[in-house]
Amino acid sequence: MGLISFIKDAGEKLFGGSSAAAATAAAPSAEDLNAKAGAAIRTYIETQNLGLTNLAVTYDGSSGKVTLTGGAPTQAASEKAGLAAGNVSSVTQVDNQLAVAAAADASQYHDVVRGDTLSAIAKQYYGDANKYPKIFEANKPMLSDPNKIYPGQKLRIPPAGA
């Protein structure tokens, strides 16, 4: 799927700021901190129940980059895994290398800004504000409520025909 950029300070707080900051330093324990952060991100992705197989997550604290490998049953599952990893605080990029069993058209992505609503985003991408449930469903289970999006979050926008 490739490399996707994210806003470093937005997203789920899976690991403490001190751990993430320490991982960016050239400390002897940087490898341990990176492994611990990667494991936390992997656990978070697995809680999304996306049906991934052989998921491996590596995190590089010096660059904020996460790399995902393994398998995904669908394009949507692969994209959701990438979003779950990227919408974690301290992550700036996700290199999604998940192999997709059932390939489909790739989705677009939208960076949420202050004042955005799912309706406004649906109007922008689909020309119809009433199609906001499509965006909400495409971002479940990361989104639990269509009214709870935040600036800096990246959302998956599925193709209009999907």
Domains of the chain, with CATH numbers?
2-102 (no CATH), 108-157 (3.10.350.10)
Average pLDDT over residues 99-116: 90
Residue 84 has pLDDT above 80, yes or no: yes
CA distance 4 to 6: 7
pLDDT in tens, 6-32: 766 665 666 555 444 444 444 447 888
How many Å apart are CA 157 and CA 139, to the nearest integer?
8
User: How would you classify residue 127: left for phi > 0, otherwise alpha for psi between -120 and 50, otherwise beta?
Assistant: left
pLDDT at position 23 is: 45
User: Which pLDDT score is estimated for 146?
Assistant: 93
Please tell me the predicted confidence (pLDDT) of residue 89.
Answer: 84
pLDDT of residue 16: 58
Give mean pLDDT, residues 117-121.
Answer: 97
**pLDDT value, residue 22:** 44
Higher pLDDT, 141 or 70: 70
Q: Is 142 helix (H, G, I), strand (E, B) or coil?
A: coil
Whether residue 54 has pLDDT greater than 90:
yes
> Which has the closest alpha carbon to 79: 105, 56, 58, 59?
105
Per DSSP, the three-state class of 85 is helix
Contact 99, 55 (CB under 8 A): no
Lowest-pLDDT choice from 15-24, 81-90, 135-144: 15-24
Number of Cβ atoms within 10 Å of the Cβ of 2? 9
- What is the model's pTM? 0.77
Of the chain, the end-to-end C-alpha distance in Å amounts to 18
- Is pLDDT above 60 for 152? yes
Output the CA torsion 13→14→16→20 (10° steps): -100
